[in-house]
Amino acid sequence: MSRYLVRRILLAIPILLGVSLIVFLMLHTAGGDPAELKLGLHADPVSVARLRHEMGLDRPLAVQYVDFLSHAIRGDLGRSYRSNAPVTDEIAARFPATIELAIAAMLLAIVIGIGFGAVAAVRRHSFFDYSSTVGALLGVSIPTFWLGLILIIVFGLWLRWLPISGRVNPRLGADPSMPFLVVGSALHGDWPIAKDAALHLILPAITLAGWPAAIIARMTRASLIEALGRDYVRTARGKGLAERAVLVGHVARNALIPVLTVIGLEFGTLLGGAVVTETVFAWPGIGQLTITAINARDYQVVQGIVLLLATIFIGLNLLVDLLYAVLDPRIRYE
């Protein structure tokens, strides 16, 4: 196991280097000048040239990349061109909101996906099975921004049941960058803030959960149907075991391995793919920060966010691989 871990960690190094190089080249060749955007379109060329020199943008791209990489290895992602604040501080202030949204959406997707997928597999070719198939197709087909806008119109504007933007009502005096605002406020006894934060979380979590819920439902159904046709299931039924015991004790554990893979990959995708959802709902996470940084040509912030998300994605894949051995003792890593 230890050799496997070391090998996977060593393989992650060239992947992160490749990701950092690709993002660096894409940002620096996409057009736009951070110095001009910061000073304004009517700034004189001398001031722009001076600011470019202070930012280090007048150096060759190879020198800029090596400088960025040498600092990133030490945990220094540079300073934001827009705010001059350390990139790590900018990300740290926004990342808790994204994690809370991604976890809420993933939990919702797991409950819906596994629940509907399991019932569809057990009641194969029934009306519920066909209905869940149609629902899954809609889930992967409807654009995230469109679903978010529809939820805002229906539940925010027409019915006025739920708030449509932000993480918490600013009048309550809560810190919007607080990690796990709902749970943290509840633990501190701030129930008005916890309730308001939970209400703000509902619509963006549903929007973000649409795609992964559909994928998990289809994978759960397919895995359970395959497992139900195995010989050990027929043997268990032949021994007189109750159907519930067969499903829970024999089928579910074997069928969960591919589902676990999908869940791990989709959670990593949620962290990086929350850009649209956070923009639609004005959610103060790294998705919204990414859009702001791209518009301002804030290269340092974008590079830092992409590196962070790539590292998390690689870590989640490794964690999923290790969990395989927990679900199936036959799996061993040499």
Residue 186 in this model has a pLDDT that exceeds 80: yes
Least confident of 148-157, 207-216, 235-244, 295-304: 235-244
Q: Over range 49-53, report the average pLDDT.
A: 82
Rounded CA separation 238/155 (Å) = 51
pLDDT tier for residue 152 given thresholds of 50, 70 and 90: very high
When pLDDT is averaged across residues 183-206 and rounded to a whole number, the result is: 87
Judge whether 24 and 68 are in contact, CB under 8 Å.
Answer: yes
Confidence at 1, pLDDT banded by 50, 70, 90: low
What sign has the CA pseudo-torsion 155, 158, 161, 163? Answer: positive
pLDDT at 334 exceeding the cut of 60: no
Indicate the DSSP class of residue 126: S
Q: For the residues 86-92, what does the mean pLDDT come to?
A: 88
- In whole angstroms, what separates CA 326 from the centre of its chain? 24
- CB distance 224 to 255 below 8 Å: yes
Q: How far apart are CA 149 and CA 162, in angstroms?
A: 13
What lies within 8 Å, CB to CB, of 58 at 6+ separation is 49, 52
Q: Which domains does the chain have, with CATH numbers?
A: 96-327 (1.10.3720.10)
Residue 68 pLDDT > 80 = yes
Between these two residues, 305 and 2, which has the higher pLDDT value? 305
pLDDT score, position 250: 64
Length of the chain: 334
Q: Give residue 329's pLDDT.
A: 61
Contact 271, 309 (CB under 8 A): yes
Numbers of helices and strands, H then E, in the chain: 15, 0
As a whole-number percent, the residues of the chain with pLDDT over 90 amount to 10
Please report how many Cα atoms fall inside a 13 Å half-sphere around the Cα of residue 50, on the Cβ side.
6
Residue 203 has pLDDT above 90, yes or no: yes
Helix (H, G, I), strand (E, B) or coil at 51: helix
pLDDT of 128 strictly over 80: yes
How confident is the model over 184-204, as a mean pLDDT? 87
Identify the top-confidence range among 1-15, 170-184, 281-295: 281-295
pLDDT of residue 105: 92
Mean pLDDT taken over the chain:
82
pLDDT at 328: 63
Q: Would you give the end-to-end CA distance of the chain in angstroms?
A: 6
| Span 271-322, pLDDT tens digits | 766 788 888 898 888 888 888 888 888 888 888 888 888 888 888 888 877 7
Looking from the CA of 39 toward its CB, the CA atoms found within 13 Å total 17
Average pLDDT for 160-177: 83
Cα–Cα separations (whole angstroms), residue 236 to 50, 232, 243, 252, 278: 77, 6, 9, 14, 48
Residue 332: its pLDDT value, please?
60
- Token pair of 35, please? 């110095």
The reported pTM is: 0.84
Could you tell me if 266 and 103 are in contact, meaning their C-beta atoms sit under 8 angstroms apart? no
| Nearest of 306, 297, 308 to residue 57 by alpha carbon | 297
Residues 206/108, Cβ–Cβ less than 8 Å: yes
Helix (H, G, I), strand (E, B) or coil at 233: helix
Instruction: Give the C-alpha separation, 197 to 176, whole Å.
Output: 9
